[in-house]
Structure 1
Amino acid sequence: MTRPSVLVTGGTRGIGAAVCAALAPDHHLIIGGRDRDAVESACASYESAQPFICDLADEQSTAGAVAALGLDRLDAVVHSAGVAGGQRTEDSSREIWRRMFELNVIAVSDLTRLLLPALRATEGTIVTINSGSGLKASGKGGHYPATKFALTALTDVLREELRPDGIRVCSVHPGRVDTDMQRELVASENRPYDPLEFLRPESVATAVRTALTATPDATYETISIRPAPAATNRRPS
């Protein structure tokens, strides 16, 4: 039996890597990333995987990488790549705004556009890894939640545009997740890092797998994930 194929951007670290691990037993992985060595190392870890190496912020790099895949069919894409940041709005430059929108919104739209012929061939699934900040803006800095609200809008629009084609579109909104990026954010906040405060990447990957393996009569349109109330009870005594 042919494995369903799924392209995972940002597949070498954090949530993307956890998604790859969760899907590897029964999917063919197309693992995306900018670092060739990291992508090829990740591919070597799985029975069925191939690289997708490009800079998603670069239009030509993205188009060339998609063309090189030569895909006639694709069962799913998981948009996991992105950037975060916590600068106050008064400290943010136009360059910061542009870079964040380029990666968190425009790259998602552009890559989806390029993959649509292959996704239509399978009536596939699109999953975007969004954020709780895509549902409610809080904290310092407007650029990150602005991009995530924009991603929510993009996902909502894609869902309705592609519904007649049988393509399912799911937006996953996790709270803060225990990743390298999270450690950098906490360090910028000048406070100690406690992994028990955060979701595990594997928990988000479980939600993604649920969306991708939904029965044909169902679609998970929006999944919101937060740390369980009992999380504080997992601390060592």
Structure 2
Amino acid sequence: MATHLVTGAGAGIGAALARRLHERGDQLVLTARNRERAESLADSFPGARVVVADLADPASLERTVEPALADVDRLDSVQHVAGVVDLAPVASIATAELREQIDVNLVSPAILTRMVLPAVRRARGLVLFVNSSAGLNASADWAAYAASKFGLRALADSLRAEELEHGVRVTTVFPSRTATAMQEKVHEQEGRVYDPSHWLTADTVVDTILHVLDLPASATIPEVVVRPLVPRPGT
């Protein structure tokens, strides 16, 4: 039975991924930002191990996550899906919003990866980062989010080069806009009408993730971009 660590399983792409992995009988290790969310995830995914981990407070992860996962010997994959976004121009971005996006989207994935890397090495597993099209091109008002995602791509690139000798595969998935609650929030901040039919579904992104995950151990996909069939302005 394969074991996967998934962040962001409470909503959106992360929830869809956790559901699909759970349905096929894989073992899940899920992170939750607080005890209330942890209880909800435990109810949604019977048999999963749920660890309280506040990704907005990277310094706390060594106290909360590292001891909780000390007995995890092997991880077939680490799926970094959790993310936050707040749009603002550089001229007026709040320090707290900038800090949160960098911490949740970049710093915490780096720390979590460091913590569990021995278990991933033992399984010759996969570390997968769900990035964003904003990690490839930055637009006005997206500076904080895009900076965190550009950094996440660099983290993945370095990790890929470092872990090749250990048989660890590293993949970055760059989805375009996806119909999730986060995207609804973005549309609200942009002052645009939200129509989920215009965008990718979470399950389409998960199809891509599972394709990467299920490749033979002799093959890897370093990066993959997923976009709607007919791109629309602003995608």
Q: Using structure 2 for the length normalisation, give the TM-score.
A: 0.91
CA 1:59–1:145: 2 relative to 1, 3 Å:
closer
Amino acid at match of 2:7: T
Using the TM superposition, give the Cα deviation of residue 47 of structure 1 relative to its aligned residue in structure 2, in angstroms: 4.9
Partners of 1:132 and 1:174 within 8 A in 2: yes
Match of 1:121, SS? helix
Contact 2:86 2:97 in 1 (8 A): no
2:32 corresponds in structure 1 to 33
Query: How many residues are paired up?
Result: 229
1:187–1:48 Cα change, 3 Å? same
1:39 and 1:94 map into 2 onto residues whose CA distance is 28
Conserved 8 A contact 1:22-1:206: no
Displacement, 1:56?
A: 1.8
Q: Could you tell me whether the CA contact under 8 Å between 2:58 and 2:103 is conserved in 1?
A: no
The residue type equivalent to 2:198 in the other structure is E
- Whole-angstrom distance in 1 between the partners of 2:46 and 2:35: 19
SS in 2 for 1:18: helix
Secondary structure at the aligned position of 2:171 is classed as strand
Shift of 1:43: 2.9
Corresponding letter in the other structure for 1:39: A
Which structure 1 residue ranges, 4+ long, deviate > 4 Å from structure 2? none
2:209 aligned partner: 208
Contact in 2 for aligned 1:27/1:48 (Cα 8 Å): no
Give the residue type in structure 2 aligned to 1:121: R
Provide, for residues 12-69 of structure 1, a one-character-per-residue CA deviation record: whole Å limited to 9, x for no partner. Answer: 1111001101211131011111133333333333354121211023245312223212
Distance 1:91 1:61, change over 3 A: same
Indicate the residue corresponding to 1:52 in structure 2.
51
Which residue is 1:182 aligned to? Answer: 183
Q: Which residue of 2 aligns with 1:12?
A: 10
Unaligned runs of 5+ in 1: 232-237
After TM superposition, the structure 1 stretch with the greater mean CA deviation from structure 2, 133-142 or 179-188, is 133-142
Query: 1:230 offset after TM fit, Å?
Result: 8.8
**Are the equivalent residues in 2 in contact too, given 1:178–1:195 (CA < 8 A)?**
yes
Residues 63-72 or 156-165, more deviating: 63-72
Task: Please show how residues 87-236 of structure 1 align to structure 2 within 5 Å.
Answer: 87-229=88-230
Alignment of 1:66 onto 2:73: no
Gaps of 5+ in 2: none
Structure 1 residue 123, shift from structure 2 partner: 0.8
Q: Give the residue type in structure 2 aligned to 1:56.
A: L
What letter is aligned with 1:7? Answer: L
TM-score, scaled relative to structure 1: 0.91
Identical columns (%)? 35
